[in-house]
Amino acid sequence: MSERPFAITLEVGSSRANHTGSWRSERPEYVRRMPPCNAACPAGEDIQGWLYEAEAGGGGYHSAWRALVAVNPLPAVMGHVCFHPCEEACNRLALDEAVGINAVERFLGEEAIRRGWEPPSPAQPSGRRVLVVGSGPAGLSAAWQLALRGHHVTLRERSKQPGGMMRYGIPAYRLPRRTLDAEIERITALGVQIECGQRVGSLAYALQEGAFDAAFLALGADVAHHIDIPGATAARVIDAVAFLHATAEGQAPVLGRRVVVYGGGDTALDAARTAARLGHGAGSLPAPQPLAGAPGAQEDPGGEAPPAPQEPVVVYRRTAERMPAHPQELAEAREEGISFRWLSTIAAARGERLVLERMRLDEQGMPQPTGELEELPADCVILALGEEPDLTPLQGLDGVIGEDGRVAVNEAMMTARPGLFAGGDLIAQERNVAVAVGHGRRAARSIDAYLRGFAMPGEEAPEPVAFADLNPWYFTDAPRQVAPKLARIRRQSTFEEVVLTLAEDSALYEARRCFSCGSCFSCDNCYGVCPDDAVLKPGPDGSPYAIDLDYCKGCGMCAAECPCGAIAMVPEQT
């Protein structure tokens, strides 16, 4: 270099001596922000996180599934039955359509079953014993989490088989029993003891007798609301949960040709669709179901040919728009020929007919009687008017049942009695599997803390990432993949799955539609767009980037061009 002319000729890269970082008034920081899907998921799944794994395809499915079951032991089940509020919150809606989160979850869940992926290994045994009552999703979720944390779990279930409403409520055409069985088996494989046919009559007694250190109550809610229909005979009125339960156990009652379902929730639709299938010869189905599509799966119930059935009619006092049932369920019911009498209540029964009263909606959208009556022929009425929990096992436990007659819990899911936790339909306003799974997990975390003497974690709710926080330029238009459906004709008479699992490429495609809201997805944009070459990409793909603060001038381009809003500009301390 000494030969080179002074000052005019310089060493390459010597500007590294000039630390332009001192110009900066704001610095970029990598952040992980709450994606709206995660924020909306009642089960508390890290949706963006597992989609990120899944979008790699191949080995990525396994890591995605592991991330999934770390939170939720029932991904395949949930992939079938969850109402996916995550998708309503999905930022991609603002661009084209929501990511098919639920369909990918189902794909991963089924993939795990197909490939026999092992559950994660539990922590060292803690020596603590926990009683879980009820094997619905809340109970199973809590049991899974507790077992993973090394606690000994005893799960008591009143019915013959575990699963709660997933087995005895949700019809098989929406949730094949082999899927449910497979996921429950994985829970028992983790060491959870499920004792079926064991109703807990008195919790106080059970706790004492079993020397449990803590307990989680997940009794569900299956005591149906009743109304009296003047003129109706008890034999012709049945409640929906009982009807579905019996059907699930292979003992479907004889309903007659003309079935009327009363109510507007999902249960009403399930009852109607189940009745339709029975009327068309599915008969009293054995549970669990044989493989979907296997020849000869559905036998004719035999006996003399029944008179041609009519499709069930759902009677509801408000309109389709105001129905609590999920739109997708309504659409499928319609596809299957279920008909509806909107703005109608059942006023009375007269022989083989029901008397309906027409309603109108007032300004608040509440149905008001009009006095207009009409008749509807009916051989039987299925009531689907809601359910409430059976709290008798809780008697004798002070303060657990509040003055309003309900079980109250705090943020940590603990009842008024220390060490006694509760969740699922038993306490929930919103009753669904995802909420139940979320309750089970939160309760398990609290129980774990309780048993180890730590403070119980609260549930923080950070502001989710909005569409405006993203840079959508980087997302190509990619229309949603629609899961294939079973042909209508087969749906009329079989309990085969209506909505089928996505094929692998479609699932991958869906996963890749994710914007990765609020989390870096290693697109290299920040590394690329920095005019000051001040973003470091230290390791192989997927390892985190870093800002070289010696040189970053704080222009904010990396933050502006981050597709997923994972870089924040924060003021420099001066």
Partner 1 sequence: MSAAADRSPQAERRDEGLRFYQTGTFAVGGRLLAEHQRTVQSQPRRPSSLTKGHRACQGCGEALGARYALDAALRAAGGRLIAANATGCLEVFSSPYPESSWQLPWIHSLFANAPAVASGIAAALRAKGREDVRVVGQGGDGGTVDIGLACLSGMFERHDDVLYICYDNQAYMNTGVQRSAATPPGARTATTEPLGGHPGNDFGQGKSAPLIALAHEIPYVATATVAELHDLEAKVARAMEIRGPRYLHLLVPCPLGWGSEPSETILIARLAKESGLFPVFEAIDGAIHAVAKIRRQVPVREYLRRQRRYAHLFADGGREDVIDRLQAAADRNIVRFGLLEGSAPLAGDLLGAPAPGELDDLSGAQAP
Partner 2 sequence: MAEQIEASVAIATAVARCRPEVLCAYPITPQTHIVEALSRMVRAGDLAPCEMVNVESEYSACSVAIGASAAGARAYTATASQGLLYMAEALFNAAGLGLPIVMTVANRALGAPINIWNDHSDALAVRDCGFIQLYAADNQEAIDMHILAFRIAEQLSLPVMVCMDGYVLTHAIEPLELPSQEQVDSFLPPFAPRQILDPDEPMTIGAMVGPEAFTEVRYLAHLRQQEALDAIPALAQELSERTGRACGGLLSGYRTSDAALVVVAMGSVLGTLEVLIDEMRGEGLSVGALAIKTFRPFPRAEVAAALGGAARILVLERAIAIGAGGVLTDSVRWALGARQTPLHTVIAGLGGRPITRRSLRPVLEAAATGGLGELHFLDLRQDLVDRELARCRSSARPGPHAEAILREIGIVGAGPV
Given partner 1, partner 2, ligand FAD, none, residue 158, with its beta carbon under 5 to 8 Å by kind, binds ligand FAD
CA distances from 287 to 178, 275, 499 (A): 9, 16, 19
Q: In whole angstroms, give the CA distance from residue 435 to residue 416.
A: 21
One residue of 21, 28, 33, 35 binding ligand SF4 per CB under 6 A: 35
Given partner 1, ligand FAD, partner 2, none, residue 17, with its beta carbon under 5 to 8 Å by kind, binds partner 1
Is residue 90 within the footprint of ligand SF4 (CB under 6 A)?
yes
Least CB distance to ligand FAD at residue 338 (A): 15
Least CB distance to ligand SF4 at residue 48 (A): 4
377's enclosing H/E stretch is: strand 367-377
Identify any residues that bridge with 346 across adjacent strands, giving them in sequence order. Answer: 356
| In contact, 46 and 71? CB cutoff 8 Å | yes
DSSP, residue by residue, 73-99: S-HHHHHHH---HHHHH-GGGGTSS--
β-pairing, 214-217 with 353-361? unpaired
Least CB distance to ligand SF4 at residue 515 (A): 4
Match 């909005």 to its residue by tokens: 466
Q: Which of 111, 37, 116 is nearest to 76 (CA)?
A: 111
Site map (CB under 6 A) of ligand FAD, residues 211-230, x = contact: -------xxx-x--------
Q: In whole angstroms, give the CA distance from residue 179 to residue 74.
A: 9
Q: Nearer to partner 1 by C-beta: 31 or 56?
A: 56
Is residue 481 within the footprint of ligand SF4 (CB under 6 A)?
no
Least CB distance to ligand FAD at residue 137 (A): 5
Number of Cβ atoms within 10 Å of the Cβ of 21: 18
CA distances from 96 to 466, 563, 566 (A): 15, 16, 22
Is residue 47 within the footprint of ligand SF4 (CB under 6 A)?
yes
Q: In whole angstroms, give the CA distance from residue 245 to residue 515.
A: 41
Q: Nearer to ligand FAD by C-beta: 380 or 535?
A: 380
One residue of 1, 2, 11, 455 binding partner 1 per CB under 8 A: 11
CA 79 to chain centre: 7
One residue of 104, 133, 184, 520 binding ligand FAD per CB under 6 A: 133
Given ligand FAD, partner 2, partner 1, none, residue 541, with its beta carbon under 5 to 8 Å by kind, binds partner 1
1-20 binders of partner 2 (CB under 8 A): 3-12, 14
Q: Nearer to partner 2 by C-beta: 13 or 418?
A: 13
Q: Which residues bind ligand FAD (CB under 6 A)?
A: 81-83, 133-139, 156-159, 164-166, 169-170, 199-200, 218-220, 222, 241, 244, 266-267, 270, 390, 393, 424-426, 431-434, 436
Q: Applying CB under 6 A, which residues contact ligand SF4?
A: 35-37, 47-48, 51, 90-92, 99, 101, 514-517
